[in-house]
Amino acid sequence: MRNTTNWPEAGIPGLTGYELCIQLTRGCLSLIDAEDLVALSSVSWYAGLSTKHQVTAMRKTPDEQGKQQQRIYMHRQISKPLPDQEVDHKDQHLFFGFKLVDNRRENLRNVSRSQNLANQRKTRGSSRFKGVNWYKPTEKWRAQIRVNRRLIYLGLFTNEAEAAHAYNTAHQLYFPGIQEGKNFVDTAASV
């Protein structure tokens, strides 16, 4: 465990330098809240790196028979979700380039699988907006949204920003109360 005070010097936005951290393996850190310090610092944590280079803090513990190792994820230990829930990082792993994961309670929320997927980053494609791509056969912008593993077609648009607005409207309909994952569309530029 350590308290790091060089976030601004390292160029990490949004951190003051007084956040509590737990040291992970591979030179990674996990931000935590003071109320979780005692429970989390009493065990060793290691860093798992996904194919997208996202950092996950985890530890291993023996199962009931004491034989196989069971993974315990720090964000699940903090958030205590129900068995059918996932824990969503609201910031979409904003600090992954800095080998840092934000496991503070303000950044975690218990959600369904579908809600967690709605907060993913935009995938590669021809549009700057999530849920929008250029549909070559019609030469228009196509808007789509995925809900419960089902892709829902939202329409074709001549303007990329209009397609992004359609995605935002559908996002609000299917995921009420979740603002993360929506597109930021400049209304002045979309006219």
pLDDT grade for 190, boundaries at 50, 70 and 90: very low
Number of domains in the chain: 2
Residues 129 and 91 in one domain: no
Mean pLDDT value across residues 106-115: 86
pLDDT grade for 103, boundaries at 50, 70 and 90: very high
Residue 184 CB burial class (10 angstroms; 0-12, 13-18, ≥19): exposed
Strand order, beta sheet including 140-147? 132-135, 140-147, 150-157
pLDDT digits (tens, 9 = 90+) for 70-93: 889 999 999 999 999 999 888 766
User: Whole-model pTM above 0.85?
Assistant: no
Residue 138 CB burial class (10 angstroms; 0-12, 13-18, ≥19): exposed
Question: Looking at the domain assignment, is residue 99 inside a domain?
Answer: yes
The pLDDT of residue 191 is: 42
Residues 71 and 161 in one domain: no
Which 3 state secondary structure label does DSSP give 79?
A: helix
Residues 6 and 87 in one domain: yes
pLDDT grade for 187, boundaries at 50, 70 and 90: low
Residues 78 and 107 in one domain: yes
Spatial CA neighbour of 29 closest among 6, 60, 9, 52 = 6
Among candidate residues 83, 111, 139, the one where a domain is terminated: 111
Q: Give me the percent of the chain exceeding a pLDDT of 90.
A: 30
Look-up of token digits 């569309």 = 185
Contact 128, 186 (CB under 8 A): no
Residues 119 and 58 in one domain: no
Residues 36 and 57 in one domain: yes
Distances (CA, A) of 93 to 59, 119, 190: 19, 11, 29
Spatial CA neighbour of 31 closest among 62, 63, 1 = 1
pLDDT digits (tens, 9 = 90+) for 20-73: 889 899 888 899 999 999 999 888 999 988 766 678 899 988 777 777 688 899
Spatial CA neighbour of 117 closest among 183, 181, 170, 48 = 181
Q: What is the CATH number of the domain that holds 119?
A: 3.30.730.10
- Residues 84 and 71: their CA atoms lie apart, in Å, by 17
Which residues of the chain form beta strands (DSSP E)? 2-3, 20-23, 29-32, 46-49, 55-62, 69-73, 86-89, 100-102, 108-111, 132-135, 140-147, 150-157
Question: Looking at the domain assignment, is residue 30 inside a domain?
Answer: yes
Question: What range does the domain containing 90 cover?
Answer: 2-111
Residues 106 and 124 in one domain: no
Question: Looking at the domain assignment, is residue 169 inside a domain?
Answer: yes
